[in-house]
Amino acid sequence: VSQLLREIEAIIGSEGPIGIDRYMALALGHPVHGYYTTRDPLGAAGDFTTAPEISQMFGELLGLWAVAVWDAMGRPSPCRLVELGPGRGTLMADALRAAGRVPEFEAACSVHLVETSPALRARQRAALEGRDVSWHADVEEVPEGPMILLANEFLDALPIRQFVRTEAGWHERLVGLGSEGGLAFGLAPHPAAGLDGAAGRPGDIIETCPAAQALVAGLARRLVAAGGAALFIDYGPATDGPGDSLQAVRRHGFADPLAEPGQADLTAHVRFGALARVAARSGATAHGPIGQGAFLEALGIRARAAALSRGRDEATQAALASALARLTGPEAMGELFKAFAIAAPKLGPLPGLPAGDAEAHRG
């Protein structure tokens, strides 16, 4: 039995069942035994593979996106180029290499990585060797001023809460002790406050992500005041609806989310509509969501793949074609993954994203 499972059992034993948000925060971020604290989970030999690890094209296009946004902002200097949850640092390394074509951008932008995992900070340091980069535990620590922020598969790791509809109302789904040992899901005995008005049928599950909402609210206020944009790429439905999306992934396959906390990645779908409403309430504009495939196509991924293929051997060309299909194909990452941005309203349309429509998200 893992140390972390014992620790969580002890917490529940003394305090009673805990919210899924607290469980996720412990499983992923426990300071000693947390999933991200102890390992680099990325890549073929790890648990899952992300877009920047599939191809250099992903980070390169995001780097050029950042340059175009900086240009539309009026080329502010200084400007903060920020990444949340940078994994192995691959996305930022590819983005900076591509953005290096515009030396004024490089000169104006300081690079800030927001990362809690010591194991992944070490990987990032190696990937970005020779670059002037600062690390932060929280985005609030990034120095003030205009900002362009990138985040790939970051929001899906933030802790969620779930509520299950019963005849009596919405009850929070909790993690408690199972009757045969280990952990088990259960329901809070009393309906949750504040959800009485939400429609639903018995058995429906709704999810909220208070951490993502607080993050987006803070970013929206900052972007409105100081200028800039934040781009999130993550997986989630185009329109919010009920459903349990909590999942555990280990060695490229699904696992039981409660079986071995700290040994499997835990994620939930991102509810973009809820985040767009939060951004609009702070006066920021929401752009998208749009499928990752359509977004990358609009940024020119096909032309980039063709340029990288030119004059190369057959195996390299086949690898590039396969990476292109994985990143953009509707049956691969092209539709489930979405690009979504929030920005200062004066910025206007953003590259690759449908024009912002704050009114559609008010409520």
Ligand X SMILES: C[S@@+](CC[C@H](N)C(=O)[O-])C[C@H]1O[C@@H](n2cnc3c(N)ncnc32)[C@H](O)[C@@H]1O
> Where along the sequence are the contacts to ligand X (CB under 6 A)?
28-29, 36, 42, 50, 52-53, 85-87, 91, 114-117, 120, 152-154, 157
| Residue placing its CB nearer to ligand X in the complex, 62 or 229 | 62
Q: At its nearest, how many Å lie between ligand X and the CB of residue 287?
A: 20
Task: In angstroms, give the least distance from the CB of 231 to ligand X.
Answer: 12
Closest listed residue to residue 56, CA positions, set 259, 337, 340, 327: 327
Q: What's the rounded Cα separation, in Å, for the pair 96 and 111?
A: 9
Q: For residue 31, how far is the Cα from the chain centroid? A: 20
For the bound state, the minimum distance from the C-beta of residue 115 to ligand X, rounded and expressed in Å, comes to 5
Of the pair 170, 295, the CB lying nearest ligand X is at 295
Nearest to 173 by CA among 183, 261, 181: 183
Distances (CA, A) of 76 to 64, 70, 80, 215, 317: 16, 7, 10, 24, 39
Tokens of 15: 């305090």
Minimum gap (Å) between residue 38 Cβ and ligand X? 11
Residue of 176, 189, 173 whose CA lies nearest to 243: 173
The residues that bridge with 113 in the sheet, in sequence order, are: 83, 135
Decide whether 270 or 347 has the Cβ nearer to ligand X: 270
CB 345 within 8 A of CB 284: yes
User: What residue is closest to ligand X based on CB?
Assistant: 85
Cβ closer to ligand X: 55 or 116?
116
Q: 9 or 156: whose CB is closer to ligand X?
A: 156
Of 43 and 237, nearer to ligand X (C-beta) is 43
Q: How far is the CB of 338 from ligand X (least distance, A)?
A: 14
**Smallest distance, ligand X to C-beta of residue 50, A:** 3
* Ramachandran region, residue 262 (left: φ > 0; alpha: ψ -120 to 50; beta: rest): left
